[in-house]
Structure 1
Amino acid sequence: MSLSGTRTHLVQTARLNTFVREAGDPSAPVLVLVHGNVSSSVFFDALIEELSDTYRMIAPDYRGYGGSERKTIDATRGMADFSDDVVALLDALEITEPVDLLGWSAGGNIVLQVAIDHPGRVRKLILEAGGSPYGFGGTHGQDGTPTAADFAGTGGGTANPDFCARLAAGDRGEEATSPLTTLRAVYVKQGFTFDPEVEQRYLDGMLATSVGDDIYPGDSVPSDNWPGSGPGTTGTNNGLSPKYLNQRAFADLDPAPPVLWIRGEDDVIVSDTSLFDLAQLGKLGAIPDYPGEDVAPTQPMVSQLRAVLEAAGEVTEIVYADCGHSPHLEHPERFVADVRAFVQ
Structure 2
Amino acid sequence: MTLLAGIRSRIIDTDRLHVGILERDGDDAAADTTVVLVHGNVSSSLFWQEVMQDLPSDLRVIAVDLRGFGLTESLPIDATRGVRDFSDDLHATLTALGLDAAHLVGWSMGGGVVMQYALDHPVLSLTLQAPVSPYGFGGTRRDGSRLTDDDAGTGGGGANPDFVARLQAGDTSEEAQTSPRSVFRSGYVAPGYTSAHEDLWVESMNTTSTAEGNYPGDGVASQNWPGFAAGTIGVLNTMTPRYFDTSGIVDLAVKPPVLWIHGTADAIVSDTSFFDLNYLGQVGVIPGWPGADVAPAQEMVSQTRDVLDAYRAAGGEVTEVELEGVGHSPHLERPAQFRRALLQVIGYLDRPADPAPPTENIILSSSD
Q: What range describes the TM-score normalised by the shorter chain of this pair? A: over 0.9
Residue 230 (str. 1) matches residue 194 (str. 2): no
Equivalent positions of 1:1-344 (< 5 A) are: 1-23=2-24, 24-28=27-31, 29-96=33-100, 98-118=101-121, 120=122, 122-141=123-142, 143-174=143-174, 175-195=176-196, 198-313=197-312, 314-344=317-347
Q: Determine if contact 2:74/2:211 at 8 Å carries over to the other structure.
A: no
State which drifts further: 308-317 or 35-44: 308-317
- Give secondary structure in 2 for the equivalent of 1:319: strand
**Residues in 2 aligned to 1:212 and 1:16: alpha-carbon distance in whole angstroms:** 16
Unaligned runs of 5+ in 1: none
Counterpart position of 2:354? none
**Residues in 2 aligned to 1:228 and 1:31: alpha-carbon distance in whole angstroms:** 42
**Residues in 1 aligned to 2:234 and 2:83: alpha-carbon distance in whole angstroms:** 10
- Give secondary structure in 1 for the equivalent of 2:124: strand
- CA root-mean-square deviation: 1.0
Identity of aligned residues (%): 50
Between structure 1 and structure 2, the one with the greater Rg is 2
- Give secondary structure in 1 for the equivalent of 2:35: strand
Counterpart position of 2:351? none
Number of residue pairs matched by the alignment? 338
Q: Determine if contact 1:11/1:92 at 8 Å carries over to the other structure.
A: yes
**Residues in 2 aligned to 1:215 and 1:52: alpha-carbon distance in whole angstroms:** 35
**TM-score normalized by the length of structure 1:** 0.96
**TM-score normalized by the length of structure 2:** 0.90
Q: How far 1:58 moved relative to its partner?
A: 0.9
Q: How far 1:186 moved relative to its partner?
A: 1.0
Q: Deviations over 1:253-305 (max 9, x none)?
A: 01221100000011010001111000000111111111111110000111111
- Give secondary structure in 1 for the equivalent of 2:322: strand
Q: How far 1:52 moved relative to its partner?
A: 4.8
- Give secondary structure in 2 for the equivalent of 1:145: coil
**Residues in 2 aligned to 1:204 and 1:303: alpha-carbon distance in whole angstroms:** 33
- Give secondary structure in 1 for the equivalent of 2:148: coil
Q: How far 1:212 moved relative to its partner?
A: 3.8
The one-letter code of the counterpart of 2:237 is N
- Give secondary structure in 2 for the equivalent of 1:139: coil
The one-letter code of the counterpart of 2:338 is F
Unaligned runs of 5+ in 2: 348-368
